[in-house]
Amino acid sequence: MKKIFKAVIWLHFLRLFRYKWSLINQALGTFLWIIIYIIGTSLFMIKEEEKILIQLFWIITAWQYIRISARLIGNWIDFFTAIGMIEEHLLRNISPFTILSGRVITSTSVTVITTALTGLIIKTVFDVNILNIYNPFLLILGFFTLIIQCIYYGKILSILSLGTSISYSFWGYLNFSSLALFVIPPEKLMFPLNILIVSLPFTSSVYLLKNGINGINSFTLLTMSLLFSFINGILLKIIENILAKKVLKNILKNGYRGIGYM
Amino acid sequence: MTKKNYKALFRAGLYLNYTFYKNLRLEFLTFIISPYLFWGMILALGYIFGSSQAFSKKVGAQVDPVMFYTASVVIASSSMNIMYQITGSVIFMRWSGTLSYHILSPYRMSTLFIILHIPRYLLRSTISILSFVPPIIFMEGLYDGITKIAILFLAMIVGMLPLLGFSVILASILLIIREQTNVFNWLSPLILIFSGAYYPAYLLPKWAQFISKILPTTYTLELARTCSIIGSPNINQIVFMIALLLGITCLYNGASFLFVGKAEKIATKHGVFE
């Protein structure tokens, strides 16, 4: 298993350099979508406030990371299917879902390039420093836990699309609802709704990130979000494992329908 | 090639898409939901972090932000759809190994790209406009609502023509470069920014306004946005923009024929990279 992971990581790094134009394309595309949302929202503001822009930037970046993971991990199964690699891996007794883990290299690379580019543009256009935040450690911790959740989320989307023959995009659209939860301030909600919000997957990590930007509002909610950020990662991993086993068993028993899948 | 052949191609495209949606019903549902999600998201962010008064002040006109973004999202999603579909189809054909067959078929690639994608564009864009019928009728009333939906349909149909040629030019470049994904995906949001899809083009810097003037989507969006202005739409302005779009159509489609011809020659000479 260790050898397989080593190969997966090595091959994904190789792909990253081989398909450098695809990487630049992804990063530029994501950067431009973030800019679209930011300038679209700024149209509703009389004067762009620094604090609001910084918060908006990090929330949209976190949400875009979820979308990128859904697309780069979830959508990659379309490519894998089209070139007939599912069967090739099954014949060699390697789960095609293990290969997907390497996609985190691509999604993280895209996010890093995108964040740097967007930060630069915001600094130039609005004269706002996106790194002017309260606690960088909380921001990094929020992103770290978000990345872990996103790996399993992307894999779950791939497994679901393989198991149900429904393209990843349908499942991927469900993450739109998460953005609405990101902008809700949980400290203004009543118990137990505030706990529920900070305990949900992704929202828990984004709450950590928001505390890193604006400062700590409630230690109880911060502790809960920290705890649930890790619990959610583990839960998503368990769900991914169960689904992968079930779908693989089904594919090995009934065969795999690659034609008409997309 | 006779006229009948084009008809058959169009029918094939229509049948392909009909069966696609028939068999993948949840995909169909996704097409209905997705424009709503973009629309809801940008409006929700706007109202949470700002206000409609600030919006009118910045835009500098009596504009309803809800109708403004309805028109923007409908046209933006239709335009993106046509660009993604045509350019993306080259990549997908390459993945599945059918690109060689398309190149060897008696039809020219540009003809295949354009005619096979017209039904898909019309079907998808119609779905996206129809999905907005209930909120438009609810906000504008029956008579005004129908007028505004008609303007959106008009913008969608006329706006499609230059975009077909534009997308085929991009597809022909993809034919000759060796990449696994559509490396022009970033162009769609860039075009949307310069066209003023989510931020009016006249508020952009001067150099960006110049770029926006040569893009077909700018005029399609302006045409669609006449329905967001509170009051009756200006007929002269609508006619002028339709004429402008038809002119741009001739320019882009003419160029696309030349580009694809060259790309086909290169692909046939050097072999298609699978």
pLDDT in tens, B160-194: 788 887 787 777 777 777 666 666 778 888 888 88
B26 shares contact with chain A (CB less than 8 Å): yes
Interval A128-156 mean pLDDT: 88
Residue, of A80 and B231, whose pLDDT is higher: A80
Interval A92-106 mean pLDDT: 84
For an interface test with A, which of B31, B77, B87, B198 has the most A Cβ atoms less than 10 Å from its Cβ? B198
Decide if pLDDT at B246 tops 70.
yes
The domain segmentation of chain B, as residue ranges, is 3-269
Decide if pLDDT at B21 tops 80.
no
Q: Model pTM?
A: 0.79
- Six-digit token string for A24: 């630049």
Instruction: Supply the pLDDT for residue A258.
Output: 58
Instruction: Supply the pLDDT for residue A223.
Output: 92
Decide if pLDDT at B2 tops 70.
no
B186 shares contact with chain A (CB less than 8 Å): yes
Residue A180 identity (one-letter amino acid): A
Confidence of residue A228 (pLDDT cuts 50, 70, 90): very high
- Residue B229 main-chain phi, psi, to 5 deg: -75, 135
Q: Which of A45, A82, A64 is nearest to A162 (CA)?
A: A82
d(CA B6, CA B1): 8
- Which one-letter DSSP state was computed for residue B27? H
Please provide the DSSP assignment of chain A as one string: -HHHHHHHHHHHHHHHHHTHHHHHHHHHHHHHHHHHHHHHHHTT-SS--HHHHHHHHHHHHHHHHHHHHIIIIITHHHHHHHTTHHHHHHHTT--HHHHHTTHHHHHHHHHHHHHHHHHHHHHHHH---TT--S-HHHHHHHHHHHHHHHHHHHHHHHHHHHHH---HHHHHHTTHHHHHHHHS-GGGSPTTHHHHHHHSTTHHHHHHHHHHHH--S-HHHHHHHHHHHHHHHHHHHHHHHHHHHHHHHHHHHH----TT--
Instruction: Supply the pLDDT for residue B4.
Output: 56
Range list of H helices, B3-64:
3-23, 25-49, 52-59
Decide if pLDDT at B124 tops 70.
yes
- Six-digit token string for B173: 């470049």
Contact B49 A52 (CB under 8 A): yes
Decide if pLDDT at A262 tops 50.
no
Tokens 């299917």, residue? A81
Specify whether the backbone of B273 is left (phi greater than 0), alpha (psi in -120 to 50) or beta. Answer: beta
- Six-digit token string for B44: 């929700």
Decide if pLDDT at A252 tops 50.
yes
A32 shares contact with chain B (CB less than 8 Å): yes
- Please, are residues A32 and B189 in contact by the beta-carbon 8 Å criterion? yes
B37 shares contact with chain A (CB less than 8 Å): yes
- Residue A101 main-chain phi, psi, to 5 deg: -55, -35
Interval B17-32 mean pLDDT: 76
- Give the closest of A26, A44, A170 to B30, CB-based: A170
Interval A101-115 mean pLDDT: 86
For an interface test with B, which of A37, A43, A83, A184 has the most B Cβ atoms less than 10 Å from its Cβ? A43
| Integer CA distances (angstroms), B219 to B75, B156, B224, B247, in order | 11, 11, 8, 11
Decide if pLDDT at A72 tops 60.
yes
- Which one-letter DSSP state was computed for residue B197? S
For an interface test with A, which of B180, B188, B192, B217 has the most A Cβ atoms less than 10 Å from its Cβ? B180
Q: Give B274 to chain A, closest Cα distance, Å.
A: 10
In chain B, positions 143-172, which contact chain A (CB-CB < 8 Å)? Answer: none
Residue B14 identity (one-letter amino acid): L
Interval B127-133 mean pLDDT: 82
Instruction: Supply the pLDDT for residue B231.
Output: 57
- Residue A46 main-chain phi, psi, to 5 deg: -70, -45
d(CA A204, CA A197): 7
Confidence of residue A257 (pLDDT cuts 50, 70, 90): low
B188 shares contact with chain A (CB less than 8 Å): yes
Instruction: Supply the pLDDT for residue A207.
Output: 92
Decide if pLDDT at B229 tops 70.
no
Contact B45 A176 (CB under 8 A): no
Contact A46 B37 (CB under 8 A): no
B181 shares contact with chain A (CB less than 8 Å): yes
- Give the closest of A21, A29, A44 to B54, CB-based: A44
Interval B6-27 mean pLDDT: 81
Identify all chain A residues contacting B24, using CB atoms and an 8 Å cutoff: 165-167
Confidence of residue A239 (pLDDT cuts 50, 70, 90): very high
B209 shares contact with chain A (CB less than 8 Å): no
A52 shares contact with chain B (CB less than 8 Å): yes
Instruction: Supply the pLDDT for residue A261.
Output: 45
- Which one-letter DSSP state was computed for residue B63? B
Residue % of chain B over a pLDDT of 90 = 0
Instruction: Supply the pLDDT for residue A173.
Output: 67
Identify all chain B residues contacting A46, using CB atoms and an 8 Å cutoff: 50, 54, 57-58
Q: Which of B121, B21, B30 is nearest to B81 (CA)?
A: B121
d(CA B44, CA B53): 15
Decide if pLDDT at B213 tops 70.
yes
Contact B180 A260 (CB under 8 A): no
Instruction: Supply the pLDDT for residue A168.
Output: 62
Interval B94-100 mean pLDDT: 76
d(CA A133, CA B16): 52
Instruction: Supply the pLDDT for residue A130.
Output: 84
Helix axis angle, A20-42 relative to B25-49, nearest 10°?
Answer: 50
